[in-house]
C-alpha cells in the first residue's frame, strides 16, 4: 500500500494487540522521517519511540488507548511549529498504515524527557501504533467527514488535480473530527481558511494548528502520487481578504 492509498484507508484505531511488530518497520521509522521534507525545515524536531512491549515504558496524562508503541514528537517552539509537527506526524501515521498497522493521535497523553527540554524542544503530540485487534482499514462508507460541497467555496471550475488534492484534504483526521478547514477554490489554486483563529482556546482549538499540518501532509502526499508540483505559500494579497468568520492560513498553488 502506498502513502496515498493509506489516506483513504486510515482510521483511528483504539484497540491493539499488545505484541511486537516487525523490527524492520521500527528500525525504518527514523530513516523514513529523515526523507520527509518538513513544512518548516528550520524548526528543530525530534521523534522518540516508546516501547510498551519489551521495555514497558510509560506515558503520562490521560489516555484510554493502550497500545504496544507510542511515537512522541518534540519541537522547538516557534511560529507554526505545531503545524510542522502535525505535518510530520501525519506522514508517520500514513507510513505505519501502509505497513498494515493502526494508529491514533492522543491529545491528552504526554511524555517528557530531560534531554529534550535541555535541547529546547517541547512535547507536542503522541501517536499510538501497533497491530490492531480488528481490521485497521476502513471502507468508503465509514468516512465521517463533511462533503467537499460543504467545505469549499468554488470561484472557478477546478482542474482534476485540484479536485484530487481537495479530496485528500477532506479525509484528513482532526481533533474531535472538527474539520476546521474551509477552502476557496480556483482552477489551479486553493486558498485555505480556518473556521476559528489559529490560537483559539478550548480542547479543539488547542490543536487547530496541528490539525492543519495533518491536512497539508495529506495534500502533499496526494501531490507526490499525482506527480504534480505544488507550493504551500502564504500570499500577501490574500491576508487582507476574508471568508466570513474565517481566518486565512495558506494557499496551495499548482505550479505551471
**pLDDT for res 141:** 46
Residue 33 grid cell:
522521517
* Mean predicted lDDT score pLDDT of the chain: 90
DSSP category for residue 80? T
% of the chain exceeding 90 in pLDDT: 72
pLDDT given for residue 156 in this prediction: 95
- For residue 123, the Cα-to-chain-centroid distance in whole angstroms is 16
State residue 41's pLDDT score.
96
Could you read off the pLDDT of 106-164 as tens digits, one per residue? Answer: 988 888 898 998 899 999 999 999 999 986 556 554 578 889 999 999 999 999 999 99
- Return d(Cα 114, Cα 210) in angstroms, integer: 23
The residue ranges of the chain whose pLDDT is under 50 are 141
Instruction: Report the predicted TM-score, pTM, of the whole model to 2 decimal places.
Output: 0.93
Tell me: the pLDDT tens digits for 56-72? 888 887 677 899 999 99
Distance CA 219, CA 207 (A): 19
Spatial distance between the Cα atoms of 68 and 88, rounded to a whole number of angstroms: 21
Amino acid at each position: 500500500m502506498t502513502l496515498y492509498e493509506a489516506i483513504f484507508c486510515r482510521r483511528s484505531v483504539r484497540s491493539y494487540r499488545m505484541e511486537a511488530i516487525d523490527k524492520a518497520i521500527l528500525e525504518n521509522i527514523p530513516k523514513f522521517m529523515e526523507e520527509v521534507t518538513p513544512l518548516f525545515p528550520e524548526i528543530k524536531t525530534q521523534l522518540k519511540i516508546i516501547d510498551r512491549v519489551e521495555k514497558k515504558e510509560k506515558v503520562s496524562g490521560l489516555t484510554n488507548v493502550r497500545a504496544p508503541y507510542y511515537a512522541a514528537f518534540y519541537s522547538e517552539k516557534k511560529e507554526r511549529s505545531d503545524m510542522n509537527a502535525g505535518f510530520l506526524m501525519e506522514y508517520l501515521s500514513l507510513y505505519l498504515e501502509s505497513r498494515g498497522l493502526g494508529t491514533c493521535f492522543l491529545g491528552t497523553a504526554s511524555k517528557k524527557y530531560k534531554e529534550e527540554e535541555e535541547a529546547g524542544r517541547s512535547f507536542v503530540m503522541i501517536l499510538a501504533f501497533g497491530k490492531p485487534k480488528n481490521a485497521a482499514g476502513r471502507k468508503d462508507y465509514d468516512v465521517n467527514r463533511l462533503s467537499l460541497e460543504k467545505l469549499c467555496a468554488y470561484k472557478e471550475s477546478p482542474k482534476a488535480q485540484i479536485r484530487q488534492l481537495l479530496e485528500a484534504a477532506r479525509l484528513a483526521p482532526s481533533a474531535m473530527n472538527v474539520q476546521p478547514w474551509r477552502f476557496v477554490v480556483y482552477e489551479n489554486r486553493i486558498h485555505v481558511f480556518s473556521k476559528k483563529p489559529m490560537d483559539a482556546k478550548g480542547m479543539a482549538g488547542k490543536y487547530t494548528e496541528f490539525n492543519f499540518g495533518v491536512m497539508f501532509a495529506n495534500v502533499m502526499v496526494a501531490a507526490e502520487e499525482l506527480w504534480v508540483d505544488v507550493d504551500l505559500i502564504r500570499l500577501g494579497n490574500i491576508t487582507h481578504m476574508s471568508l466570513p468568520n474565517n481566518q486565512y492560513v495558506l494557499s496551495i498553488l499548482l505550479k505551471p
